[in-house]
Structure 1
Amino acid sequence: MEWLLYIVFFLIVLFCIVFFLKKHYEDKAKNLASLKNGICPNCGAKSDKDESVIEYKLLNNGGCSGVSDVLYTCIKCDKSYFAQERISRPSCG
Protein backbone atom coordinates (compact mmCIF):
# COMPACT_ATOMS: atom_id res chain seq x y z
CA MET A 1 0.00 0.00 0.00
CA GLU A 2 2.91 2.32 0.70
CA TRP A 3 4.18 2.01 -2.89
CA LEU A 4 0.81 3.28 -4.11
CA LEU A 5 1.36 6.54 -2.23
CA TYR A 6 4.79 6.88 -3.82
CA ILE A 7 3.31 6.38 -7.27
CA VAL A 8 0.59 8.96 -6.65
CA PHE A 9 3.14 11.43 -5.29
CA PHE A 10 5.40 10.83 -8.31
CA LEU A 11 2.49 11.39 -10.71
CA ILE A 12 1.54 14.64 -8.97
CA VAL A 13 5.12 15.92 -9.14
CA LEU A 14 5.38 14.88 -12.79
CA PHE A 15 2.11 16.66 -13.61
CA CYS A 16 3.35 19.85 -11.89
CA ILE A 17 6.60 19.78 -13.87
CA VAL A 18 4.80 19.28 -17.18
CA PHE A 19 2.35 22.08 -16.35
CA PHE A 20 5.20 24.44 -15.41
CA LEU A 21 7.13 23.73 -18.62
CA LYS A 22 4.03 24.16 -20.77
CA LYS A 23 3.25 27.52 -19.15
CA HIS A 24 6.87 28.66 -19.48
CA TYR A 25 7.03 27.98 -23.22
CA GLU A 26 3.61 29.52 -23.86
CA ASP A 27 4.67 32.72 -22.06
CA LYS A 28 7.96 32.77 -23.94
CA ALA A 29 6.18 32.47 -27.30
CA LYS A 30 3.65 35.15 -26.31
CA ASN A 31 6.43 37.55 -25.27
CA LEU A 32 8.32 36.96 -28.52
CA ALA A 33 5.19 37.60 -30.58
CA SER A 34 4.52 40.89 -28.78
CA LEU A 35 8.16 41.95 -29.22
CA LYS A 36 7.91 41.31 -32.96
CA ASN A 37 4.74 43.44 -33.02
CA GLY A 38 6.59 46.32 -31.34
CA ILE A 39 5.05 45.96 -27.87
CA CYS A 40 7.14 45.55 -24.72
CA PRO A 41 5.82 42.65 -22.60
CA ASN A 42 7.23 44.24 -19.42
CA CYS A 43 5.98 47.85 -19.51
CA GLY A 44 3.44 47.67 -22.37
CA ALA A 45 5.01 50.49 -24.41
CA LYS A 46 3.98 50.38 -28.07
CA SER A 47 5.88 51.42 -31.16
CA ASP A 48 4.29 53.96 -33.45
CA LYS A 49 5.05 55.07 -37.01
CA ASP A 50 7.68 57.62 -35.96
CA GLU A 51 9.52 55.79 -33.19
CA SER A 52 10.26 52.16 -32.44
CA VAL A 53 10.23 51.14 -28.78
CA ILE A 54 11.96 47.78 -29.37
CA GLU A 55 15.57 47.54 -30.54
CA TYR A 56 16.62 44.39 -32.39
CA LYS A 57 20.22 43.20 -32.32
CA LEU A 58 21.55 40.08 -34.04
CA LEU A 59 24.12 38.58 -31.67
CA ASN A 60 25.15 35.45 -33.54
CA ASN A 61 24.35 34.64 -37.14
CA GLY A 62 23.54 30.95 -37.42
CA GLY A 63 24.46 30.62 -41.08
CA CYS A 64 22.26 29.12 -43.78
CA SER A 65 20.68 26.39 -41.68
CA GLY A 66 21.43 27.51 -38.14
CA VAL A 67 19.53 29.33 -35.45
CA SER A 68 20.38 32.97 -34.85
CA ASP A 69 20.70 34.58 -31.42
CA VAL A 70 18.69 37.79 -31.16
CA LEU A 71 18.54 40.37 -28.37
CA TYR A 72 15.41 42.53 -28.09
CA THR A 73 15.65 45.60 -25.84
CA CYS A 74 12.88 47.99 -24.80
CA ILE A 75 14.00 51.62 -24.93
CA LYS A 76 11.44 52.77 -22.33
CA CYS A 77 12.11 50.31 -19.48
CA ASP A 78 15.55 49.02 -20.59
CA LYS A 79 14.43 45.38 -20.27
CA SER A 80 16.25 42.90 -22.54
CA TYR A 81 14.89 39.66 -23.96
CA PHE A 82 17.08 36.97 -25.50
CA ALA A 83 15.63 34.73 -28.20
CA GLN A 84 16.86 32.08 -30.57
CA GLU A 85 15.01 31.97 -33.85
CA ARG A 86 15.34 30.78 -37.39
CA ILE A 87 15.74 33.68 -39.79
CA SER A 88 15.17 32.71 -43.41
CA ARG A 89 17.95 33.67 -45.77
CA PRO A 90 17.03 33.71 -49.47
CA SER A 91 20.70 33.70 -50.54
CA CYS A 92 21.27 30.22 -49.09
CA GLY A 93 20.70 27.46 -51.61
Structure 2
Amino acid sequence: MLIILLGSVFVYIYYLKDKKEQLDAIKRGFCPKCHQKSIELTDQRSGGCSGPKILSYECVECGYANSFAVENNGSCG
Protein backbone atom coordinates (compact mmCIF):
# COMPACT_ATOMS: atom_id res chain seq x y z
CA MET A 1 0.00 0.00 0.00
CA LEU A 2 2.85 2.37 0.82
CA ILE A 3 4.48 1.67 -2.55
CA ILE A 4 1.26 2.58 -4.37
CA LEU A 5 0.95 5.80 -2.36
CA LEU A 6 4.55 6.82 -3.04
CA GLY A 7 4.19 5.93 -6.72
CA SER A 8 1.07 8.08 -6.97
CA VAL A 9 2.84 11.04 -5.34
CA PHE A 10 5.80 10.77 -7.72
CA VAL A 11 3.52 10.50 -10.77
CA TYR A 12 1.61 13.61 -9.64
CA ILE A 13 4.83 15.56 -9.07
CA TYR A 14 6.04 14.57 -12.56
CA TYR A 15 2.67 15.63 -14.04
CA LEU A 16 2.89 19.08 -12.38
CA LYS A 17 6.48 19.53 -13.54
CA ASP A 18 5.51 18.63 -17.11
CA LYS A 19 2.55 21.07 -17.07
CA LYS A 20 4.85 23.86 -15.80
CA GLU A 21 7.36 23.18 -18.59
CA GLN A 22 4.55 23.27 -21.17
CA LEU A 23 3.23 26.59 -19.83
CA ASP A 24 6.76 28.05 -19.81
CA ALA A 25 7.18 27.10 -23.49
CA ILE A 26 3.82 28.69 -24.31
CA LYS A 27 4.76 31.89 -22.46
CA ARG A 28 7.85 32.07 -24.70
CA GLY A 29 5.51 31.76 -27.72
CA PHE A 30 6.32 28.20 -28.75
CA CYS A 31 4.15 25.08 -29.00
CA PRO A 32 5.46 22.51 -26.49
CA LYS A 33 4.76 19.67 -28.94
CA CYS A 34 6.00 20.84 -32.37
CA HIS A 35 8.18 23.77 -31.17
CA GLN A 36 6.73 26.19 -33.75
CA LYS A 37 5.59 29.76 -33.05
CA SER A 38 1.99 28.79 -33.80
CA ILE A 39 0.37 28.67 -30.35
CA GLU A 40 -2.74 30.77 -29.76
CA LEU A 41 -4.85 31.61 -26.73
CA THR A 42 -8.31 30.22 -27.54
CA ASP A 43 -10.21 30.81 -24.29
CA GLN A 44 -9.77 32.71 -21.04
CA ARG A 45 -12.08 32.21 -18.08
CA SER A 46 -11.96 33.72 -14.63
CA GLY A 47 -13.25 32.31 -11.38
CA GLY A 48 -13.91 35.75 -9.93
CA CYS A 49 -11.74 38.02 -7.85
CA SER A 50 -9.99 35.35 -5.85
CA GLY A 51 -10.26 32.32 -8.16
CA PRO A 52 -7.71 31.23 -10.74
CA LYS A 53 -7.85 32.09 -14.44
CA ILE A 54 -8.24 29.15 -16.82
CA LEU A 55 -6.28 29.75 -20.02
CA SER A 56 -6.80 27.45 -23.01
CA TYR A 57 -4.20 27.30 -25.77
CA GLU A 58 -4.18 25.57 -29.15
CA CYS A 59 -1.50 25.10 -31.80
CA VAL A 60 -2.64 25.79 -35.37
CA GLU A 61 0.17 23.62 -36.81
CA CYS A 62 -0.05 20.32 -34.90
CA GLY A 63 -3.39 20.57 -33.08
CA TYR A 64 -1.93 20.55 -29.55
CA ALA A 65 -4.48 21.85 -27.05
CA ASN A 66 -4.24 22.29 -23.29
CA SER A 67 -5.69 24.36 -20.46
CA PHE A 68 -3.84 25.86 -17.52
CA ALA A 69 -5.03 27.30 -14.22
CA VAL A 70 -2.99 30.38 -13.36
CA GLU A 71 -3.21 32.82 -10.46
CA ASN A 72 -5.56 35.74 -10.95
CA ASN A 73 -3.40 38.65 -9.78
CA GLY A 74 -6.07 40.80 -8.18
CA SER A 75 -8.02 41.85 -11.25
CA CYS A 76 -10.81 43.16 -9.03
CA GLY A 77 -10.39 46.53 -7.61
Instruction: Please list every run of 5 or more consecutive structure 2 residues that lacks an aligned counterpart in the other structure.
Output: none
Provide the TM-score with structure 1 as the length reference. Answer: 0.70
Unaligned runs of 5+ in 1: 1-9, 48-52
Tell me the equivalent position of 2:9.
Answer: 18
Identity of aligned residues (%): 32
In the alignment, is the contact (CA less than 8 A) between 2:50 and 2:72 conserved in 1? no
Find the counterpart in structure 2 of residue 36 from structure 1.
27
* Structure of higher CA gyration radius: 1
Question: Within 2, Cα distance between the matches of 1:74 and 1:41?
Answer: 9
Whole-Å Cα distance in 1 between the matches of residues 58 and 18 of structure 2?
Answer: 17
Moved more, 24-33 or 12-21: 12-21
How far did residue 12 of structure 1 move?
1.7
- Aligned letter for 2:67? F
Using structure 2 for the length normalisation, give the TM-score.
0.82
Q: Does the CA contact (< 8 Å) of 1:58 and 1:68 recur in 2?
A: no
